[in-house]
Structure 1
Amino acid sequence: MELRRYKDILALKSEEGTLLAFHSRNMEVAQITESTWQNMSPTTLLSSNPTDLVLQECEAIEELKTWNSEENPEATTTKIKSAIRYLTLNVTQICNLHCNYCAAGGDGTFGDAIAKISIEKTLPQLKFFLDRLPQGGSFNISFLGGEPLMYAEGIELVTKYIAEIAPERKVNYTVITNGTLLTDKNVDLLARMKASVTVSLDGPAEINDRMRPTKNGKSSTAMIVAGLEKLLARKSEFSHLMIHGVFDSENIEMVKAYEFYSQFNVDHYEFSFSVSDTNPRATMDYMQQMTEVAALAFAKGGESALRKISNFDKCFGALDAQRRTENYCGAGKSFLMIDARNQIYTCPWDVNDKKEQVGQGTELNEKALEAYQKPILEQNKCENCWARFLCGGGCMFAHKHSSGSKNVKNTQFCERTRFLVALALIYYEKCRSAA
């Protein structure tokens, strides 16, 4: 993929030779001429700063200067207000799988195995956050683990309690599960919640069983597929269904994963790269595989099939709305994490790291939360990156895992993100120019 740049404008050349440009501040995509392309500075995915090397003064450069200086009145910036309206809750910190890349201590426990969260402590904690939310706002709760369906009774008690104390409040529920415990009873519960369900699955059995082995030696894939079929048989009863795969040096076969996922008519597929893998070769392979996955999806069903892949759907949605984002996530602003000991963190993967704890029960460390209130773009010094408003500064946990600091960027994360955004831009122009 060839890239060139002039200040806030990134130019790309597709494999078919189409030349297009993205105005990163104005969230605009347009085709450009060969003359404009030739008079922009070559750049790479690893570079966030424009060199502004102009080969010659000409009409194309004047047009670039004019476009770069324009302000699009239709473009808006999503602001995150400091009001907690998203909570992730570890109802348990044990798991029946032992995934090779597990970020939760290697076994779902975060180094602190707890079979069941204390409901007596959790219910008043949830009421505390609900009471602090301004009237009229919706609330969102994600259930995580370990494997959350190992304590499905806890999930049910939480949802019943919230229905009792806040019947007028719109509460959205998400359950992130390994998919092996989607029994009829558990599916009934998720349907009553009208939950958004994300099922973890890394590909066909020969791959997934190796990456996500059970502790009893059975095939996790067979159980997951059976669970997915139960969910899909009642698809209209859920708010959203997604398959999520994690890929790294030990499994970078995303094309095989996509072909396997395609038999399941879920709403989205998500292809994530493991934050614990720092192998640059794996990053290159990930980008190549995503190129092939995108081509397969587009050939299969055009924009609709491509947008079933969450990475592309997010970019297309932001470009259509001309909506900039300043925050990769709402950590510490709109989002907090509660572990199975009712300790509070800003990130699901910070659990059991005492340096990252920002509260306990109904006590919040407001001083610690102050550090999160600036936009992530500002905290991470992303002001020169052309992909900044489609990225939002990146995952702070991925940054910390690589550099030791949430605000010192993981360069491989940046490279992968810029690549996915650039790939999305090429397909976006192709779809919109054909419309």
Structure 2
Amino acid sequence: MIQDINILKFQTKTNNCYVFDAITNNIYQVRQNDLDGISNTNFGRENGIRDLESNTPDIRKQVSKNAKTLIIEITEKCNLRCSYCVFDDESKIKERSHGKKSISLKEAKDSVSSFYERTNKEEAFIVFYGGEPLLEFEKIKDIVAHADTISNKKIKYSITTNGIPLNNEKLEFLIKNNFLITFSIDGPKTVNDKYRFKKNKKGVFEELVSKIESIKDNYPEYYSEKVLFNCVINNTEEIDLINKFFAESKIIDSKKVRFSAELSNSEEINKHISNAAVELFNETEKKEILLRPIEQSFIGNLIAKVNHRKLDKYASQGKKICVPFSNRTYIRSSGEIQFCERIQDYGVVSSTTKEDLELASKKIYSEFLSFKKEECSRCFAYNFCEFCPASFMENGKLNKTTSKIKCDGFRKDVKESIRIYIEKNETEQK
């Protein structure tokens, strides 16, 4: 495989040769003798450098008229002490600490009001986040009542929970208000309870699974449409156990699970998963390849993005761009406003007026563009990339080392996904 700026060249197992043009997302089959000589001039370009400026969003419009999601960190309190949690004192990622702080009802209501004023009044979401948000259930009810009043019930709700505080009263409220619920579960009991436990070190697997099973049995339609799961992978040696658990579970559909790597160990885990998926594709000539749940989540979904990519002048429209305070607005339990829940003290603003958020968004976007512009303009994976400023944060700052590690890994996955897509199409055409 030979690489040029925004061009990938492939020779498949059948000795067919292809070129992927990352500016237009087109894939061309070429003669073997022509492969090495193909360059950007063949596509009518002097060079392959992408013009990022032309893809700059209308920040003012996005922030002030099209805000999408408000994330409310309703409390720092939690009933669990998960070993990898960024709130935990023992976490390698020194982001926050467990505390007793909860957001005031006034600050929460004010943030909802100012957020809704910045939406298009048709599509708006509030996510309740923690700590463990269900520990502030009465406050959640008050916030939802306020949001329903000012939006005429246009706002939709979501909550991420460890599930342990859930009871019939809370569940009925969540169902009545059509909440999307994401439960955190990290695999079978032996794996889950190794990392997810109460203050007394007692695991929570059986208690959580019992509650999930009850929802599925008693509210099957709601369970099917509104219940999701999040799994954190902590160790490459546990991947097989986690795959087996979700693949065979009669309670949890693996397609409803979002897998993520534990932050401080993510490079090794991501590499292991990608390699396992690629090996499986290389070992089979079958038209339909059934990836295991984790590999499907990482590589399988990326191959699907290649399959459904936009072409020519629309190619860059498939690229997701993070506009701070539009895509997400995050209010911490302290009352501080930030653009994402995955950062430390970067991009804090003291005012939620449209004008101040616009200025803050432009500043953060400009800093990120300056940080990544040269690399992104030459990156063949750009149109498939969903990395945002928060992806490259280390100790509250944009970090070049973190950026290189993550981008190198993603580029490898995109190369393999395009190659697999090409070879899979060849097999299907036989």
Partner of 1:389, secondary structure, is: helix
Decide which of 376, 398, 409 is 1:405's aligned counterpart. 398
Given that 1:123 and 1:158 are in contact with CA atoms closer than 8 Å, whether structure 2 keeps it comes out as: yes
Which residues of structure 1 form unaligned runs of 5+? Answer: 40-56
Given that 2:63 and 2:324 are in contact with CA atoms closer than 8 Å, whether structure 1 keeps it comes out as: no
Question: For residues 27-69 of structure 1, what are the alpha-carbon distances to aligned partners after superposition, in whole Å with 9 as ceiling and x for unaligned?
Answer: 33456665566x2xxxxxxxxxxxxxxxxx4xxx37x753575
Instruction: Kindly indicate whether residue 106 of structure 2 is the aligned counterpart of residue 120 of structure 1.
Output: yes
Residue 430 of structure 1 and its aligned partner are, at CA, apart by: 5.5
Given that 1:92 and 1:114 are in contact with CA atoms closer than 8 Å, whether structure 2 keeps it comes out as: yes
Q: Which residue of 1 aligns with 2:363?
A: 371
- Distance (whole Å) between structure 1 residues aligned to residue 260 and residue 71 of structure 2: 19
Instruction: Kindly indicate whether residue 348 of structure 2 is the aligned counterpart of residue 357 of structure 1.
Output: yes
* TM score, norm. by length of structure 2: 0.76
Quickly say closer, same or farther: Cα 1:384–1:175, change in 2 above 3 A. same
- Distance (whole Å) between structure 2 residues aligned to residue 19 and residue 220 of structure 1: 53
- Code of the residue aligned with 2:4 in structure 1: it is Y
Question: For residues 267-287 of structure 1, what are the alpha-carbon distances to aligned partners after superposition, in whole Å with 9 as ceiling and x for unaligned?
Answer: 433222233337x65554343
Given that 1:327 and 1:376 are in contact with CA atoms closer than 8 Å, whether structure 2 keeps it comes out as: no
Instruction: Kindly indicate whether residue 243 of structure 2 is the aligned counterpart of residue 271 of structure 1.
Output: no
Question: For residues 208-261 of structure 1, what are the alpha-carbon distances to aligned partners after superposition, in whole Å with 9 as ceiling and x for unaligned?
Answer: 21122222332222223223323444353264443222234x455223212212
Partner of 2:365, secondary structure, is: coil
Given that 1:103 and 1:349 are in contact with CA atoms closer than 8 Å, whether structure 2 keeps it comes out as: no
Instruction: Kindly indicate whether residue 130 of structure 2 is the aligned counterpart of residue 145 of structure 1.
Output: yes
* TM score, norm. by length of structure 1: 0.75
Residue 189 of structure 1 and its aligned partner are, at CA, apart by: 2.6
Partner of 1:357, secondary structure, is: coil
Decide which of 65, 71, 74 is 1:88's aligned counterpart. 71
Residue 86 of structure 1 and its aligned partner are, at CA, apart by: 1.3
- Distance (whole Å) between structure 2 residues aligned to residue 251 and residue 198 of structure 1: 24
Partner of 2:70, secondary structure, is: strand
- Distance (whole Å) between structure 1 residues aligned to residue 15 and residue 187 of structure 2: 33
Q: Which residue of 2 aligns with 1:53?
A: none
Q: Which residue of 2 aligns with 1:336?
A: 329
Partner of 1:277, secondary structure, is: helix
Matches within 5 A, 1:164-175: 164-167=149-152, 169=154, 171-175=155-159
Partner of 1:410, secondary structure, is: helix
Which residues of structure 2 form unaligned runs of 5+? Answer: 49-53
Question: For residues 285-338 of structure 1, what are the alpha-carbon distances to aligned partners after superposition, in whole Å with 9 as ceiling and x for unaligned?
Answer: 343345478899x98975798796276436624751515355553434432111
Quickly say closer, same or farther: Cα 1:410–1:321, change in 2 above 3 A. closer
- Code of the residue aligned with 2:202 in structure 1: it is K
Residue 356 of structure 1 and its aligned partner are, at CA, apart by: 3.6
Question: For residues 57-116 of structure 1, what are the alpha-carbon distances to aligned partners after superposition, in whole Å with 9 as ceiling and x for unaligned?
Answer: 4xxx37x75357599xxxx97947234321111111111222222123448992261354
- Distance (whole Å) between structure 2 residues aligned to residue 186 and residue 30 of structure 1: 55
Q: Which residue of 1 aligns with 2:180?
A: 196
Decide which of 26, 29, 35 is 1:28's aligned counterpart. 26
Quickly say closer, same or farther: Cα 1:152–1:320, change in 2 above 3 A. same
Given that 2:188 and 2:242 are in contact with CA atoms closer than 8 Å, whether structure 1 keeps it comes out as: yes
- Root-mean-square deviation over aligned CA pairs: 4.1
- Distance (whole Å) between structure 1 residues aligned to residue 133 and residue 244 of structure 2: 28
- Distance (whole Å) between structure 1 residues aligned to residue 281 and residue 179 of structure 2: 28
